[in-house]
Amino acid sequence: MMDPMPQWKREKTFFSKIRERINGVAVAAVVLILIWVFALWISDRRILGPEDNGAELTAKFGSKYDAADLALMETCNTTQWVDGLWLNCHSECGPNKKSICGGLNNARNRLQICMRLAIDIGAGVMFPYVEQTQRPETNWASTDTDAICPDVWWDIEMLKEKMAERCPRFQINSCQEQPEGITRDIEVLPRHYKEKPHFNQTWRMAVNQTLEDNQISLADVTSENPLLLRYHDSHIAWSYRLSGEMKTLRKSLFRTLLFNRTILAVGEELFESKGLNGGNYIGIHLRAEYDWPTYWGTPERQMEMHAAEVRKTNAEAEEPVTTVYVSGGDPAVIQKFRDVMGPEYNVTDKWMLFADRPDMLEFIEELPFDQKAIVEYPVLVKGRYFQGNLISTMSSVVVYARTMDQPEEFFDTYIYPDTIRWGLDRFYNEPLVIKGDRHTKEFVMNGQDIMDSFP
pLDDT in tens, 301-331: 889 999 999 999 999 999 999 999 999 988 9
- The mean pLDDT of 100-128, rounded to a whole number, is 97
> Distances in Å between the alpha carbon of 17 and those of 95, 334, 364?
70, 79, 82
Q: What is the mean pLDDT of the chain?
A: 87
pLDDT digits (tens, 9 = 90+) for 193-233: 889 999 999 999 999 999 999 999 999 999 999 999 999 99
Q: What CA–CA distance (Å, rounded) separates 421 from 431?
A: 14
Q: What is the pLDDT of residue 140?
A: 44
Task: Please say if the pLDDT value at position 20 is more than 70.
Answer: no
Q: How confident is the model at residue 449 (pLDDT cuts 50, 70, 90)?
A: very high
Q: What is the pLDDT of residue 275?
A: 97
Among 424, 344, 436, which residue's Cα sits nearest to residue 386? Answer: 436
Q: What CA–CA distance (Å, rounded) separates 376 from 389?
A: 15
382 neighbors 279 (Cβ within 8 angstroms): yes
- The mean pLDDT of 16-37, rounded to a whole number, is 46
What are phi and psi for residue 141, nearest 5 degrees? Answer: -85, 5
Q: What is the 3-state secondary structure (H, E, C) of the chain?
A: CCCCCCHHHHHHHHHHHHHHHHHHHHHHHHHHHHHHHHHHHHHHCCCCCCCCCHHHHHHHHCCCCCHHHHHHHHHHHHCCCCCCEEEEECCCECCCCCEECCCHHHHHHHHHHHHHHHHHHCCEEEECCEEEECCCCCCCCCCCEEEECHHHCECHHHHHHHHHHHCCCCCEEECCCCCCCCCCEEECCCCCCCCCCECCCHHHHHHHHHHHHCCCCHHHCCCCCCEEEEECCCCCCECCCCCCCCCCHHHHHHHHCCECHHHHHHHHHHHCCHHHHHHCCEEEECCCCCCCCHHHCCHHHHHHHHHHHHHHHHHHCCCCCCEEEEECCCHHHHHHHHHHHCCCCEEECHHHHCCCCHHHHHHHHCCCHHHHHHHHHHHHHHCCEEEEECCCHHHHHHHHHHHCCCCCCHHHHHHCCCEEEECCEEEECCCCEEEECCCEEEEECCEECCHHHCC
Q: How confident is the model at residue 63 (pLDDT cuts 50, 70, 90)?
A: confident
Residue span(s) of the chain under CATH 3.40.50.11350 come to: 261-453
pLDDT digits (tens, 9 = 90+) for 153-182: 999 999 999 999 999 999 999 998 778 889
pLDDT digits (tens, 9 = 90+) for 351-363: 999 999 999 999 9
Among 304, 348, 305, which residue's Cα sits nearest to residue 326? Answer: 348
Between 3.40.50.620, 3.40.50.300, 3.40.50.11350, 3.20.20.370, what CATH number should domain 261-453 receive? 3.40.50.11350
